[in-house]
Amino acid sequence: MKKFYIFSPIYLIFLLSGVNGQISDREIMSVSYPDSVITWKFDSQGDSVLNAKVNYRYDNHKNMIESEKFTREQSLHLWVPNRKDNREYDSQDRCTMWAIYDWDNGSSSYKGFMKETTAFDNHGNVAEYHYYIWNPTLSDWWNNVWDVFYYDSQDKMTRANYFEWNTDSEQWDTTSYEIYDYDGNGLLQHVTEWEPDDESGIIYQHERADYQYDESGNVIERVHQIHNPNTELWYFTARDQYWYDSDNRKINWMYSDYDEAEEKWIEKEKEDWGWDDSDSLILYAYYRIGEDLETWYPDLKSEMTYNSQGKMVRNRSYSGNDQAQWVPAYERRYDYLNDTLLMADSLYQWIMDDEYWNLVDCHNYQYDTLFRMHTDSYYKWVVHTSQYELSTRAYYFYSKSSGIEEIMLEEVKLWPNPSSSVVSLQLSVVSRQLTVIEILDLYGKIIDSHNNRTIEQLNNEIIELDIRQLPPGIYFIRIKFENQLIVKKIIKI
Question: CA-CA distance, 8 to 29, in Å (whole number)?
Answer: 23
Q: Which residues touch 279 (CB under 8 Å, ≥6 apart)?
A: 247, 249
Task: Write down the pLDDT at residue 484.
Answer: 56
Are the C-beta atoms of 434 and 458 separated by less than 8 Å? Answer: yes
Question: CA 226 from chain center: how many Å?
Answer: 34
Q: What is the largest CA-CA distance in the chain?
A: 81
Are the C-beta atoms of 6 and 348 separated by less than 8 Å? Answer: no
Per-residue CA distances from 34 to 95, 199, 433 (Å): 20, 55, 27
Are the C-beta atoms of 21 and 394 separated by less than 8 Å? Answer: yes
Q: Identify which of 475, 488, 405, 489 has the alpha carbon closest to the alpha carbon of residue 446.
A: 475
Question: CA-CA distance, 345 to 26, in Å (whole number)?
Answer: 8
Per-residue CA distances from 381 to 110, 115, 316, 345 (Å): 36, 38, 19, 14
Domain residue extents for the chain: 9-397, 412-492
Task: Write down the pLDDT at residue 458.
Answer: 55
What are the backbone angles phi and psi of residue 458, rounded to the nearest 5°? Answer: -100, -25
- The secondary structure of the chain, three-state, reads CCCCCCCCHHHHHHHCCCCCCCCCCCCCCCCCCCCEEEEEEECCCCCEEEEEEEEEEECCCCCEEEEEEEEEECCCCEEEEEEEEEEEECCCCCEEEEEEEEEECCCCEEEEEEEEEEEECCCCCEEEEEEEEEECCCCEEEEEEEEEEEECCCCCEEEEEEEEEECCCCEEEEEEEEEEEECCCCCEEEEEEEEECCCCCCEEEEEEEEEEECCCCCEEEEEEEEEECCCCEEEEEEEEEEEECCCCCEEEEEEEEEECCCCEEEEEEEEEEEECCCCCEEEEEEEEECCCCCCEEEEEEEEEEECCCCCEEEEEEEEECCCCCEEEEEEEEEEEECCCEEEEEEEEEEECCCCEEEEEEEEEEEECCCCCEEEEEEEEEECCCCEEEEEEEEEEECCCCCCCCECCCCCEEEECCCECCEEEEEECCCCCCEEEEEEECCCCCEEEEEECCCHHHHECCEEEEECCCCCCEEEEEEEEECCCEEEEEEEEC
Q: Identify which of 347, 302, 351 has the alpha carbon closest to the alpha carbon of residue 326.
A: 302
Q: Identify which of 388, 338, 334, 336 has the alpha carbon closest to the alpha carbon of residue 360.
A: 388
CA-CA-CA-CA torsion for 48, 54, 55, 57, nearest 10 degrees? Answer: -150
pLDDT per residue of the chain (493 residues) written in tens, 0 to 9: 333 333 333 333 233 333 233 333 333 344 478 999 999 998 877 788 999 999 999 998 889 999 999 999 988 888 999 999 999 999 999 999 999 999 998 888 999 999 999 999 999 999 999 999 999 999 999 999 999 999 999 999 999 999 999 999 999 999 999 999 999 999 999 999 999 987 777 889 999 999 999 999 999 999 999 999 889 999 999 999 999 999 999 999 999 999 999 999 999 999 999 999 999 999 999 999 999 999 999 999 999 999 999 999 999 999 999 889 999 999 999 999 888 899 999 999 999 998 999 999 999 999 887 888 999 999 998 877 777 888 999 999 998 543 334 443 345 778 888 888 998 888 765 445 556 788 887 666 788 887 655 544 555 577 888 888 888 887 888 777 655 567 777 888 8
Are the C-beta atoms of 209 and 189 separated by less than 8 Å? Answer: no
Question: CA-CA distance, 85 to 101, in Å (whole number)?
Answer: 6
Task: Write down the pLDDT at residue 451.
Answer: 66
Q: How many CA atoms are closer than 13 Å to the CA of 202, on its beta-carbon side? A: 4
Query: Is it true that domain 412-492 has CATH number 2.60.40.1930?
Result: yes
Q: How many CA atoms are closer than 13 Å to the CA of 208, on its beta-carbon side? A: 16
Determine if the peptide bond prior to 472 is cis (ω within 30°): no
What pTM was computed for the model?
0.72
Q: Which residues touch 401 (CB under 8 Å, ≥6 apart)?
A: none
